Structure 1
Amino acid sequence: MTTTIFNTMSSLRYRRITKGITVALLSTALVGVVSCTKGIKPEEHKPTPLVKLAQSVDLLQPVFVTDVGSKGNSKDPLSLQVGYDDGQVIAASRDGKVSAYDAQGKRLWQSDLKSAIMGGVAFDAASDTVIVSTRTAKVVALNASTGQIRWQQPTTGTVLAPALIHNNRVIVSGNDGLLQGLSLQTGSPVWQFATQAPSISVRGSASPVLLDNSTAIIATADGRLHALDVTTGKPLWSRRVGIPSGASEVERMTDVDGAPVIDNSQLFAISYSGQLVGVDLLSEQILFLQDAGSLKSLATTANSVIATTLDGHVRAFNRNTGAPLWDNSELAYRQLTNPVVIGNYVAVGDLEGVVHLLDTSTGKIVSRSNTKGKGALSTLQTQANTLLTQSTTGQVSIWQLKRQ
Structure 2
Amino acid sequence: MPQGNGFSLQLASRGRLLLSGLGLAAAIGLSACSSPAKFEPAPLAPPAALLGANLAWSTQVGTSGTSLTPLATAGRVFVAGASGTVAALDADTGKDVWRLDLRTGISAGVGSDGQTAAVITQTNDLVAIADGRELWRVRLPARAFTAPLVAGQRVFVLTADRSVTAFDGRTGARLWSQARPGEPLVLGQSGVLLAVGNTLVAGLSARLTGLDPLNGTIRWEALVASARGTNEVERLVDLVGTVSRQGDSVCARAFGAAVGCVDTSRGAVVWSKPARGSTGVHGDDRMVFGTESDGRVVAWQRASGERSWEIERLKYRELTSPLAVGRVVAIGDSKGLVHLLSREDGSEMNRLTTDGSPIVGAPVLAGQTLVVQTRNGGVYGWRPQ
The answer, yes or no, to whether TM exceeds 0.5 is: yes
What is residue 42 of structure 2 aligned with on the other side? Answer: 49
Give the length in aligned residue pairs.
363
Which of 87, 98, 101 is the aligned partner of 1:99? 87
Which amino acid in structure 2 is aligned with residue 195 of structure 1? R
Shift of 1:344: 0.6
Describe the SS at the equivalent of 2:21.
helix
The Cα RMSD (Å) is 2.2
Which amino acid in structure 2 is aligned with residue 345 of structure 1? V
Q: Which has the higher contact order (CA 8 A, sep 6+)?
A: 2
What is residue 25 of structure 2 aligned with on the other side? Answer: 35
State the TM-score, normalizing by the size of structure 2.
0.88
What is residue 204 of structure 1 aligned with on the other side? Answer: 189
In 1, Cα distance between equivalents of 2:58 and 2:158:
30
Matched, 1:170 2:155: yes
Describe the SS at the equivalent of 1:78.
coil
State the TM-score, normalizing by the size of structure 1.
0.84
Deviations 1:186-241 (A, max 9, x none): 111100011224222321232411121x2111013x21111111121111112222
Q: Which entry has the higher C-alpha Rg, 1 or 2?
A: 1
In 1, Cα distance between equivalents of 2:157 and 2:100:
21
Shift of 1:384: 4.0
Shift of 1:326: 0.4
Shift of 1:32: 4.9
Which 5+ residue runs of structure 2 have no aligned equivalent?
Answer: 1-18
CA contact 2:61–2:377 (8 Å) conserved in 1 = yes
Q: Which aligned pairs between 1:188-267 and structure 2 lie closer than 5 A?
A: 188-212=173-197, 214-220=198-204, 222-267=205-250
> Using a 3 Å threshold, how does the CA distance of structure 1 residues 226 and 379 change in structure 2: closer, same or farther?
same
Deviations 1:243-288 (A, max 9, x none): 1112232211111112443213322121113211123445654332
Describe the SS at the equivalent of 2:147.
coil
What is residue 138 of structure 1 aligned with on the other side? Answer: 125
Which of 310, 329, 335 is the aligned partner of 2:312? 329
What is residue 348 of structure 1 aligned with on the other side? Answer: 331
In 2, Cα distance between equivalents of 1:50 and 1:380:
23
What is residue 54 of structure 2 aligned with on the other side? Answer: 61
Shift of 1:34: 5.8
Identity among equivalent positions (%) equals 26
What is residue 319 of structure 1 aligned with on the other side? Answer: 302
Which amino acid in structure 2 is aligned with residue 215 of structure 1? T
Which amino acid in structure 2 is aligned with residue 355 of structure 1? V
> Using a 3 Å threshold, how does the CA distance of structure 1 residues 216 and 295 change in structure 2: closer, same or farther?
farther
CA contact 2:20–2:26 (8 Å) conserved in 1 = no
Which of 75, 93, 111 is the aligned partner of 1:122? 111
CA contact 2:166–2:176 (8 Å) conserved in 1 = yes
Describe the SS at the equivalent of 2:93.
coil
Which of 121, 146, 160 is the aligned partner of 1:161? 146
Matched, 1:279 2:269: no
Following superposition, which runs of at least 4 residues in structure 1 exceed 4 angstroms of deviation?
281-285
What is residue 361 of structure 1 aligned with on the other side? Answer: 344
Shift of 1:166: 1.5
Matched, 1:78 2:61: no
> Using a 3 Å threshold, how does the CA distance of structure 1 residues 228 and 291 change in structure 2: closer, same or farther?
same
Deviations 1:139-183 (A, max 9, x none): 10111x3x1100001101122111111222111101122210110
